[in-house]
Amino acid sequence: MSESEAKSRSATPPSKAKQATPTTTAAANGEKKLTNKELKELKKQEKAAKRAAMKQANGISIEQQQQQAQMKKEKKQLQREQQQKREQKQKNANKKKQNERNVKKSTLFGHLETTEERRATILALTSAVSSPKTSRITAAGLMVPVVASALSGSNVLTASSLMPVGPNASSTVSASAPASTTTTLPASSAALSAGTSSASTNTPTAIQQEIASSNASDVAKTLASISLEAGEFNVIPGISSVIPTVLEQSFDNSSLISSVKELLLNKDLIHPSILLLTSHLAHYKIVGSIPRCIAMLEVFQIVIKDYQTPKGTTLSRNLTSYLSHQIDLLKKARPLSVTMGNAIRWLKQEISLIDPSTPDKAAKKDLCEKIGQFAKEKIELADQLIIDNASTQIEESTTIVTYGSSKVLTELLLHNAISLKKNIKVIVVDSRPLFEGRKMAETLRNAGVNVMYALITSLDTIFNMDVDYVFLGAHSILSNGFLYSRAGTAMLAMSAKRRNIPVLVCCESLKFSQRVQLDSVTFNELADPNDLVNIDYENPVERRGNKGALLNQFIKERKFEKKKLAMENKPKGNKIGGKKGSEGESKDASNEEDSNSKNILDGWQELPSLNIVNILYDLTPPEYIKKVITEFGALPPSSVPVILREYKGSA
Amino acid sequence: MSSQAFTSVHPNAATSDVNVTIDTFVAKLKRRQVQGSYAIALETLQLLMRFISAARWNHVNDLIEQIRDLGNSLEKAHPTAFSCGNVIRRILAVLRDEVEEDTMSTTVTSTSVAEPLISSMFNLLQKPEQPHQNRKNSSGSSGMKTKTDYRQVAIQGIKDLIDEIKNIDEGIQQIAIDLIHDHEILLTPTPDSKTVLKFLITARERSNRTFTVLVTEGFPNNTKNAHEFAKKLAQHNIETLVVPDSAVFALMSRVGKVIIGTKAVFVNGGTISSNSGVSSVCECAREFRTPVFAVAGLYKLSPLYPFDVEKFVEFGGSQRILPRMDPRKRLDTVNQITDYVPPENIDIYITNVGGFNPSFIYRIAWDNYKQIDVHLDKNKA
Amino acid sequence: MSEFNITETYLRFLEEDTEMTMPIAAIEALVTLLRIKTPETAAEMINTIKSSTEELIKSIPNSVSLRAGCDIFMRFVLRNLHLYGDWENCKQHLIENGQLFVSRAKKSRNKIAEIGVDFIADDDIILVHGYSRAVFSLLNHAANKFIRFRCVVTESRPSKQGNQLYTLLEQKGIPVTLIVDSAVGAVIDKVDKVFVGAEGVAESGGIINLVGTYSVGVLAHNARKPFYVVTESHKFVRMFPLSSDDLPMAGPPLDFTRRTDDLEDALRGPTIDYTAQEYITALITDLGVLTPSAVSEELIKMWYD
């Protein structure tokens, strides 16, 4: 078909076709056998020519015709604009729906904090904390002002005409303020315009008060505007809008807003090293419950060193609450691991035990020393004891299955294979999307251990290979004996149990938790669902934390605007131009399709009934576990509460 | 080798172009270019149709032998393409039934020619056969029937079977739909199964049930399918959750039913699924007492017994498991492509002829196959 | 007409041919009965068979297996009478072909061996409880096919059939070890699969066999080891015991009354037990590999055809 069209076009250039006399078409007719389509086209052209001729005959000049055409075009443009408005409205409605979905979102995990929510909080905080600096990389990884069309601090800022946004799309959110700064957000997305009505109710002078307003989109706006406080404005059209939209999408939860508010109120108290740690944790640069705990303790040492007791209070009273603020932020990176929780509890107890009469300096030094000692005792020495104990279990020429990656297990296996020269075979089982096992398999292999690497889908085959033991690491062991560990552990333990293969867990007593829990759904940590979108065998999903999402959002909005621009330009151009535009669009569409075919689930957010579950942990019932090896020796999982009591007493 | 050997078996077939077709199909099977038991079954039947229309034979037993040879060569080409052997055995059974009917109608005496193996305990006390007489009878009767009759019978059998295979989903949906209730949470670990997909969509659209479907990813070999599957479901307005394989245990406590597709169903009630990790999912389900139902077209039923499961399970290379490996320090990897689910982990089979307990599958199999054709390989039979 | 004692005939058959199973001996005994008594009418024939069967079952303490033989025989006679009414012909056939049945029964064991040999793989460790001709013929066949496997044989008290099997396997050159019955639990993890014979296969698909089979079955089930029953199809019997209590036995299963000083003699208790179908992975029979539920189908077919 397209070929025939091309033919017809080459035979009679379309632009000229109007003026072309019927004779040429007749000539074309005579020259070629024409397909039906060509015939139709020719007839159309003929008609158009006739019409023109008729009009001319009616006394309408060509100029007048052009005028008419122009008018028609304008009319069309108007219509188009109206349509756009309508679309905008629809979009708003959609957004509302989406928000509803966000609430409904996980039929199973609705009660858990999603990564987006955490991300939004951190984003808000970091942008607030680092606001005095005009250009920086936020924790979100978003570089705000690059080639900013800086709008100096005038009282009222309107959306500049430079903005590639149609007048209907750009909304001015003005919180008019007489004395101090007024912020205006050039908002490309209509999302913000939704909030305009309530904006006037805000008291603009104090940002905190503004935050106090309960409207979600308001908060989002305010948060974005925080970075603009103190008179210095650096707004990039199109970019600054990214933050609020992202935020707004996530802030449909009132409790979240209030927690953010609280954090913002205390933002000045936060120590920079904590911010750094938060960002590391949020980006999964530090993973594993033990490394996370160690990192936190180290940062606490710095924080305590830098701590100055305010006047009118004592260290033992104030330090705890000061630390609490820091911890509140840490919690926003990822939920605290049990190890961290235990360490914090211990630290607070230590602080409360300090005699108020001790001078600050001595007390701080003492605390830092104690923290170091704690880390050494509870982690390093404990690991050593566990390894010694577990080594007795591993006989000559045994086959061991392990899951994911665990620090103490890696050390244990290396110790047995290398130092004790036992001929062991290790099967590392791994799973998507983290592929932590690759690291462990590589470490062991590089040390010369006989390693096999498999995925959790091949469990059946793995357990047919004469496996002697399953060794597991732990995130935590709960008070009712359940093992809380990397998702997939429970399945492995169950399979092993069904095949009468003993399951052993190596776990420092620091990981014992007071909590009780019955299944993996009630309490868990949700990771970024986008990690599962990409199917790539080469690279394990690179954990980009917030960066990718924001960037994507930005790119998306850019694209959207570009399209709109193209749409607006279209009517102005002549017909050929219009065609070109549409061609470009179709190209864009095909490009999009290309990227879609790369990852099938790209854009899954648009499908209201599609969700991706990416939970980090699961719960293994105690009946699957034969033995828990701790620094106190080997115990059945039912003895966890016993140790907990003991441990609490000793700490 | 098999194709060569095969053509030499019946040089008098004198139908080189059929042989060429067979050779290409064998080659395709060997290179695993035909995917999915549905496609394999249909292609095999088409091939068989051509083969039978072109075949020459003196006695119907010759024809049966020729078909067996064909089946053997195809099975050798792709030992785990069960549907291929299944449909050939089905046609063989049709032919043998016809032969038996003829002998029955012409002779009053016993029928033990066709079915010497599967028979009741009465064999013990049966009157001794008179092999000579029987042989005479059977050959006499088949002499009475002309060859074209058998050709007709076989081709009609093939046509019926093609029809059946094409309409399998209907029958399954009828039964399966009654097994799920409104707002149920379902889990399927076999996103490559078209039967499951169609069933879920009809359940949503025609019966207007609302339910949530969890789809496991089946990494690494089936993740693409899983994502496509999830997307399709979501586009049909079905609540869909994509779940990594590791989270199955965590979510199983919320799942109402597990639906699995099958690649082959064996006489013991066990099944081979075309996705790895299914057996673990079914184990989880068993552990949580969650019912597992398997959907299977009748042509997936195989008369084989999974003596050695590892023979039936396929394995793949490491490129999808560990693509970048230090060549000096290579690791062993396991990449299971298919998975065997033992009968004790399946609660019910939904086929196009009804729902059955795994322990009853043997009966359905023997309704459709003859024991004599279980091993198409001459050396084994 | 000489005095004919069915029990004696039965026992004589068993004695004469050690390869003969109890159901076959029962059938042979009944055939002999027909030959000697030569009943005149169909009704007389049926009555003769019925009364003799009852007599036989009563006189033999462990009657499960022979009951199966009697069942088949009776059913065969009845069916032929009903279907064809040609009872004379039927009688003639039965009397003439007595020997044929014996040889067929033996042949069916070979068939079992052929079917079952696929269940034995290289490097298998197979636990066998009790001595069964079918199991032995299967193991023998596998060894002839050069499959390298090892056997663990239980002593199988009180009959000590294990010793017999041990010697046979030893002679065959199959690596074999003998353990006491109570050691099964200790070694079950090392074993790959379990093979047992059966005296009778009940309608549920459960089996009646030498005492101890149940415990082995439970242990195997617990350890998730496949538990295969190797048996001829003529041992299928129309019984549906719910537990070992329902089995026909010489005395009460537990006897608290008798006092004796001799400890050897003090040993009492049942000699057979019932293993329910849930412990059985599959039955390897001359009809093919059956799931336990297929047994009931065979029996239904036989009685309601």
Greater confidence, C67 or A4?
C67
* Cβ neighbours of residue C136 closer than 8 Å, sequence gap 6 or more: C165, C168, C169
Mean pLDDT of the residues in chain C: 85
Same domain, B36 and B161: yes
Q: Identify the CA nearest to B252 among candidates B215, B290, B280.
A: B290
Identify the CATH number of the domain in which residue B15 sits: 1.20.120.420
Coil/strand/helix, residue B348: strand
Q: Is the predicted ipTM greater than 0.95, yes or no?
A: no
* Cβ neighbours of residue A58 closer than 8 Å, sequence gap 6 or more: none
Chain B residues at the C interface, defined by Cβ less than 8 Å, are 117-125, 127-128, 267-269, 305, 307-308, 343, 357, 359-360, 362-363, 371
Q: What is the distance between the alpha carbons of residues B245 and B247, in angstroms, rounded to a whole number?
A: 6
Q: What number is the average pLDDT over the span A279-308?
A: 86
Assigned token pair, A646: 């003991």
Q: What number is the average pLDDT over the span A453-463?
A: 90
Size of interface A-C (CB pairs under 8 A): 5
The dihedral built from the CA positions of residue A244, A249, A252 and A254, taken in this order, carries a sign that is: negative
Q: What is the distance between the alpha carbons of residues A281 and A617, in angstroms, rounded to a whole number?
A: 17
Query: Given the DSSP bridges, would you call strands B354-356 and C176-179 parallel, antiparallel or unpaired?
Result: unpaired
Same domain, B284 and B324: yes
Q: What is the distance between the alpha carbons of residues C47 and A339, in angstroms, rounded to a whole number?
A: 84
The dihedral built from the CA positions of residue C185, C191, C192 and C193, taken in this order, carries a sign that is: negative
**φ and ψ at C252, to 5 degrees?**
-65, 150
Q: What is the distance between the alpha carbons of residues A629 and A648, in angstroms, rounded to a whole number?
A: 19
Identify the CATH number of the domain in which residue B198 sits: 3.40.50.10470
**What's the Cα-to-Cα distance from A424 to each of A403, A449, C94, rounded to whole Å?**
16, 7, 66
Q: What number is the average pLDDT over the span A384-403?
A: 91
- How confident is the model at residue B279, as a pLDDT? 92
Of the three residues C57, C87, C107, the one that is the final residue of a domain is C107
Each residue's pLDDT tens digit, A345-383: 888 888 888 888 888 888 888 889 999 999 898 889 999
Residue A196's pLDDT band (cuts 50, 70, 90): very low
Residue A250's pLDDT band (cuts 50, 70, 90): low
- How confident is the model at residue C305, as a pLDDT? 60
Residue B186's pLDDT band (cuts 50, 70, 90): very high
A610: nearest CA partner in chain B: B240
Q: What number is the average pLDDT over the span C245-251?
A: 78
- How confident is the model at residue A350, as a pLDDT? 87
Q: Give the distance, in angstroms, between the CA of residue B126 and the centroid of all CA atoms in the same chain.
A: 35
Question: Where is average pLDDT lowest: A47-51, A277-281, A428-432, B247-251?
Answer: A47-51
Range of the domain at C270: 119-302
- Which chains sit next to C, with 3 or more Cβ pairs under 8 A? A, B
- How confident is the model at residue A469, as a pLDDT? 93
Of the three residues C45, C72, C107, the one that is the final residue of a domain is C107
Set of chain A residues whose Cβ sits within 8 Å of the Cβ of C224 = 498-500
Each residue's pLDDT tens digit, C28-72: 888 888 888 877 787 888 888 888 888 888 888 778 888 888 888
Does some domain include residue C114? no
Q: What number is the average pLDDT over the span B143-169?
A: 79
- How confident is the model at residue A121, as a pLDDT? 72
Each residue's pLDDT tens digit, A95-146: 554 444 444 455 677 777 777 777 777 776 666 665 543 333 333 333 333 3
Identify the CATH number of the domain in which residue C69 sits: 1.20.120.420
Q: What number is the average pLDDT over the span A556-573?
A: 68
- How confident is the model at residue A185, as a pLDDT? 36
Query: Given the DSSP bridges, would you call strands B332-334 and B354-356 parallel, antiparallel or unpaired?
Result: unpaired
Does some domain include residue C218? yes
* Cβ neighbours of residue A302 closer than 8 Å, sequence gap 6 or more: A271, A273
Coil/strand/helix, residue A486: strand
Helices B82-106 and B361-368: crossing angle in degrees, nearest 10, is 60
**φ and ψ at A388, to 5 degrees?**
-60, -45
Same domain, C85 and C8: yes
Q: What is the distance between the alpha carbons of residues B297 and B193, in angstroms, rounded to a whole number?
A: 11
* HSE-CB of C302 using CA atoms within 13 angstroms: 29
Q: Identify the CA nearest to A199 among candidates A178, A216, A186.
A: A216
- How confident is the model at residue A216, as a pLDDT? 47
Residue A94's pLDDT band (cuts 50, 70, 90): low
Please classify residue C49 by burial: count the beta carbons closer than 10 Å to its beta carbon, then call 0-12 exposed, 13-18 middle and 19+ buried: buried
* HSE-CB of C31 using CA atoms within 13 angstroms: 23
Does some domain include residue C113? no
pLDDT at residue B284 greater than cutoff 60: yes
> How many domains does chain B contain in total?
2
Is C121 within 8 Å of B308 when comparing Cβ atoms? yes
pLDDT at residue B268 greater than cutoff 70: yes
Give the distance from residue B96's alpha carbon to the nearest chain A alpha carbon, in angstroms.
39
HEC-encoded secondary structure of A529-579: HHHHCCCCCCCCCCCCCHHHHHHHHHHHHHHHHHHHHHHHHHHHCCHHHHH
What is the 8-class DSSP label of residue A452?
A: E
Q: Is residue B265 a contact partner of residue B297, using CB atoms and an 8 Å limit? A: no
Q: What is the distance between the alpha carbons of residues C230 and A80, in angstroms, rounded to a whole number?
A: 83
Same domain, B252 and B155: no
Same domain, B79 and B154: yes
Q: What is the distance between the alpha carbons of residues A15 and B64, in angstroms, rounded to a whole number?
A: 71
**What's the Cα-to-Cα distance from B115 to each of A236, B110, B124, B131, B136, rounded to whole Å?**
85, 11, 15, 14, 17
Same domain, C67 and C129: no
Coil/strand/helix, residue B213: strand
Same domain, C59 and C208: no
* Cβ neighbours of residue A359 closer than 8 Å, sequence gap 6 or more: none
Residue C276's pLDDT band (cuts 50, 70, 90): very high
Greater confidence, A579 or A183?
A579
Same domain, B178 and B270: yes
- Which chains sit next to A, with 3 or more Cβ pairs under 8 A? B, C
Range of the domain at B357: 168-373
Encode C208-247: b = buried (16+ Cβ within 10 Å), e = exposed: bbbbbbbbbbbbbbebebbbbbbbbbbbbbbbebeebeeb
For residue A369, the tally of other CB atoms under 10 A from its CB is: 11
Q: Is residue A176 a contact partner of residue A156, using CB atoms and an 8 Å limit? A: yes
Q: What is the distance between the alpha carbons of residues C197 and A105, in angstroms, rounded to a whole number?
A: 58
Secondary-structure class of domain A392-524+620-646 per CATH: alpha beta
Same domain, C102 and C148: no
Set of chain C residues whose Cβ sits within 8 Å of the Cβ of B118 = 287-288
Same domain, B159 and B28: yes
Of the three residues C107, C137, C170, the one that is the final residue of a domain is C107
Going from N- to C-terminal start, the domains of chain A cover 2-76, 115-261, 270-357, 392-524+620-646
- How confident is the model at residue A248, as a pLDDT? 54
Residue B231 belongs to what H/E stretch?
Answer: helix B223-235
Is A432 within 8 Å of B284 when comparing Cβ atoms? no
Identify the CATH number of the domain in which residue C231 sits: 3.40.50.10470
Same domain, C259 and C190: yes
AA letter at A115: T
**φ and ψ at B168, to 5 degrees?**
-65, -35
Same domain, C175 and C294: yes
Q: Is residue B114 a contact partner of residue B101, using CB atoms and an 8 Å limit? A: no
**What's the Cα-to-Cα distance from A320 to each of A274, A304, A350, rounded to whole Å?**
15, 10, 10
Tokens 């082995």 locate to C216
Give the distance from residue A399's alpha carbon to the nearest chain C alpha carbon, in angstroms.
16
Q: Identify the CA nearest to A503 among candidates A589, A596, A393.
A: A393
Each residue's pLDDT tens digit, A204-216: 333 444 444 444 4
Same domain, C200 and C78: no
What is the share, in percent, of chain A residues with pLDDT greater than 90? Answer: 14
* Cβ neighbours of residue B68 closer than 8 Å, sequence gap 6 or more: B88, B92, B373, B376, B378
Give the distance from residue A456's alpha carbon to the nearest chain C alpha carbon, in angstroms.
21
Q: Is C282 in CB contact (< 8 Å) with chain B?
A: yes
Same domain, C33 and C176: no
Does some domain include residue B280? yes
Same domain, C56 and C155: no
> How many domains does chain C contain in total?
2
In B312-371, the residues whose Cβ lies within 8 Å of chain A are 313, 315, 319-324, 326, 329, 331-336, 339-340
What is the share, in percent, of chain B residues with pLDDT greater than 70? Answer: 83
**φ and ψ at C161, to 5 degrees?**
-65, -25
For residue A500, the tally of other CB atoms under 10 A from its CB is: 12
- How confident is the model at residue A209, as a pLDDT? 40
- How confident is the model at residue B370, as a pLDDT? 85
Q: Identify the CA nearest to C290 among candidates C104, C151, C119.
A: C119
AA letter at B56: R
Does some domain include residue C112? no
- How confident is the model at residue C268, as a pLDDT? 75
DSSP letters spanning chain C: -----HHHHHHHHHHH-TT--HHHHHHHHHHHHHHHH--SSHHHHHHHHHHHHHHHHHH-SS-HHHHHHHHHHHHHHHHHHHHH--HHHHHHHHHHTHHHHHHHHHHHHHHHHHHHGGG--TTEEEEEES--HHHHHHHHHHHHTT--EEEEEE--TTTTHHHHHHHHHHHHT--EEEE-GGGHHHHGGG-SEEEE--SEE-TTS-EEEETTHHHHHHHHHHTT--EEEE--GGGB-S---SSGGGS--SS-SS--S---S-HHHH----SEEEE-GGG-SEEEETTEEE-HHHHHHHHHHHHH-
Set of chain A residues whose Cβ sits within 8 Å of the Cβ of B245 = 431-432, 455-457, 488
β-sheet bridge partners, residue B333: A453
Give the distance from residue C123's alpha carbon to the nearest chain B alpha carbon, in angstroms.
13
Q: Is residue B239 a contact partner of residue A107, using CB atoms and an 8 Å limit? A: yes
Number of residues that this document lists for chain B: 381
Is B124 within 8 Å of C72 when comparing Cβ atoms? yes
Cis peptide before C158 (omega within 30 of 0): yes
Each residue's pLDDT tens digit, A21-77: 444 444 444 444 555 666 677 677 777 766 666 666 665 566 666 777 777 777 777
DSSP letters spanning A372-427: HHHHIIIIIIHHHHHHHHHHTT--TT-EEEEES--HHHHHHHHIIIIIS----EEE
Tokens 């050939």 locate to B88
Mean pLDDT of the residues in chain B: 81
Q: Give the distance, in angstroms, between the CA of residue A55 and the centroid of all CA atoms in the same chain.
A: 62
Greater confidence, A270 or B66?
B66
Tokens 């290396």 locate to A414
Q: Is residue A206 a contact partner of residue A80, using CB atoms and an 8 Å limit? A: no
Q: What is the distance between the alpha carbons of residues C273 and B340, in angstroms, rounded to a whole number?
A: 34
pTM summary value: 0.75
